[in-house]
C-alpha cells in the first residue's frame, strides 16, 4: 500500500465515521462522543498528511504516533457510542474493524521506521 492509498483510506474512514455519527441520538453523552469521534477521526487523517512532510525520521515517527493516538481515541468513542446506539451496530462494527486495521498498519510503519533508523 503506497502513501496515497493509505491517505485515501484514512480519508474514507473519516468520512464514514462522520456519516455514521451525524444522525445518532440526542443523549448528552452521545452528542459529546459524536463530536469527539468527528474530531479524532479527522485528526488521524490530517496528522498523517502532516507526517508526509516530516522534517526528520524522528519527526515522522512522532507524527505517526499522534495518528495512532487519534485512532485509539476514535476507537473508544465508537465503542461507547455503540453502547448507547444499538441501531448502528453493524456500521460501528465495520468502522471498528477498519480502525483496528489502520492501527496495525501504523504500528508496523513505526516499527519499520525505527528499524531502518
Q: What's residue 3's pLDDT?
A: 81
Q: What's residue 87's pLDDT?
A: 59
3-state secondary structure of 81: helix
Q: What's residue 86's pLDDT?
A: 62
Which domains are seen in the chain, by residue range? 3-115 (1.20.1440.60)
Q: Flag the least confident range among 12-21, 26-35, 100-109.
A: 26-35
Give yes or no for a contact between 79 and 95, defined as CB atoms under 8 angstroms apart.
no
Average pLDDT over residues 27-47: 93
pLDDT in tens, 46-80: 999 999 999 999 999 999 999 999 999 999 999 98
pLDDT in tens, 5-24: 999 999 999 999 999 988 78
Residue-wise burial string across 3-35, b where 16 or more C-beta atoms lie within 10 A, e elsewhere: eeebeebbbebbeebeebbeebeeeeebeebbe
Report the chain's mean pLDDT, rounded to a whole number.
91
Amino acid at each position: 500500500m503506497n502513501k496515497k492509498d493509505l491517505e485515501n483510506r484514512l480519508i474514507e474512514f473519516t468520512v464514514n465515521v462522520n456519516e455514521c455519527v451525524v444522525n445518532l441520538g440526542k443523549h448528552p453523552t452521545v452528542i459529546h462522543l459524536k463530536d469527539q469521534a468527528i474530531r479524532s477521526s479527522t485528526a488521524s487523517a490530517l496528522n498523517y498528511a502532516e507526517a508526509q512532510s516530516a522534517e526528520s525520521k524522528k519527526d515522522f515517527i512522532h507524527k505517526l504516533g499522534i495518528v495512532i493516538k487519534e485512532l485509539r481515541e476514535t476507537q473508544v468513542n465508537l465503542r461507547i457510542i455503540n453502547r448507547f446506539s444499538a441501531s448502528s451496530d453493524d456500521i460501528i462494527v465495520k468502522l471498528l474493524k477498519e480502525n483496528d486495521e489502520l492501527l496495525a498498519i501504523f504500528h508496523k510503519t513505526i516499527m519499520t521506521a525505527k528499524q531502518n533508523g
